[in-house]
Amino acid sequence: MTTIVGGLGTSHVPAIGAAVDHDKTTEAYWKPLFDGYEKAREWMKDVKPDVAIIVYNDHASAFSLELIPTFLLGVADEFPPADEGYGPRDVPVVKGHPELAWHLAESLILDEFDMAIGNKMPVDHGLTVPLSIACGKPDAWPCRVIPLCVNVIQYPPPTGLRCYKLGKAIRKALENFDSDLRVAIFGTGGMSHQLQGERAGVINAEFDNKFLDQLSGDPKALTEISHQEYMMEAGSEGIEMVMWLIMRGALDDKVKEVHRHYHVPASNTAAGLIILEND
Ligand code: DHB
Ligand code: FE
C-alpha cells in the first residue's frame, strides 16, 4: 500500500535558497529563520519519503505568458534547475518518478481534473527552495520528486476550493497505486507578500497565523477565501497560498500538527512552515 507520510507547507523565497547556496544560514539575519527549519530536516530524515509531490508555481521560468497551464504534472525522469537570470542554482538535478506521475495523471484526468503533462521542463526556486529548506545541501536530493505546477501568476488562478478538491483526488490516486512507496506532499509559496506596486512589502502576520491555524484545524474554512481576499489581506503574491490547500486536501480531515515556524522577514516576505501528519 502506498503510504502518505505527511504534508509540509513552506514559503519558497529565492533569497532563502541563496542563503543556503552561499552558506549564510548561520548569519544573524538568517539564523532565526533557519533554526526553525531544523525540525523539518529531522522530520524528512525520520519519515524517509521515497517520493515528494511538490506543489509549486513556476515564475515565468519554464513557461512564459505564451503557455499557461492551470495544473501541470511533471512526468519526466529528471528536471534540471532553471536559469532564472543569473545561472541555474548549484543544486542537484531533481529526479522524477515517471511511473507514479503517470498513474497520477491518469487517475486525476479520469477524475475530471484536466492536468497538463510536463515531459521536459526546468524547475525554478518555487520547487528547489522548498527542497533546500527540507533537505539542506546534499549531494543528491534524498527522494524522487513529482512536480505539480499551478498557475498563480496570470489571472485567473484556480480557486482554493478547486485546489483542496485536487488534493483529495491526489489522495484517492495514491490509495489506488499498488506499491510500498512512502509519499510526502509539499504545498509551497506564500506567506503574505507583495513584490510590486504601491503595496510592495505588505506583511499580514495575523492573516498568516490564522491561515496556519485553520490549515491544521479547519481547512474547509480556508476554501472559502476568495482571490480578492488573498490579495487584500496577504498581498498580490499571497495568492500562492492556495497551493497549500492541495497539500492539505491530500491529508485526513483531522491531522496532527508536528511542527510550525513563522518568521518575518525573509527578504520582503513572511516565511511560514508547517508539517502535518494524518492522525
Ligand atoms: C520572492 C519571490 C517569490 O516567488 C516568492 O514566493 C517570495 C519572494 C522574491 O523575489 O523576493
Ligand atoms: Fe513565489
- 170-200 confidence digits (pLDDT tens): 999 999 999 999 999 999 999 999 999 999 9
pLDDT at site 167: 98
Which of 58, 194, 269 should be mutated for ligand 1, with most atoms under 8 A from CB? Answer: 269
Q: Which active-site residues does the annotation give?
A: 125, 193
Q: Please, what are the domains in the chain?
A: 3-278 (3.40.830.10)
- For ligand 1, which residues put their CB under 6 angstroms from it? 12-15, 59, 189, 193, 195, 237, 240, 267-269
Ligand having the closest approach to the CA of 190: 1
Dmax over CA atoms of the chain, in Å, equals: 51
**What CA–CA distance (Å, rounded) separates 62 from 52?**
20
pLDDT at site 228: 98
* Ligand 1, atom 4: closest residue by C-alpha: 13
* Alpha-carbon distances, residue 16 vs 9, 11, 87, 130, 233 (angstroms): 15, 9, 16, 9, 23
pTM of model > 0.95 = yes
Rounded CA Rg of the chain: 17
Distance 20 CA to ligand 2 centre (A): 17
List of the chain residues with pLDDT < 70 = none
User: In the 8-state DSSP scheme, what is residue 88?
Assistant: B
User: In the 8-state DSSP scheme, what is residue 242?
Assistant: G
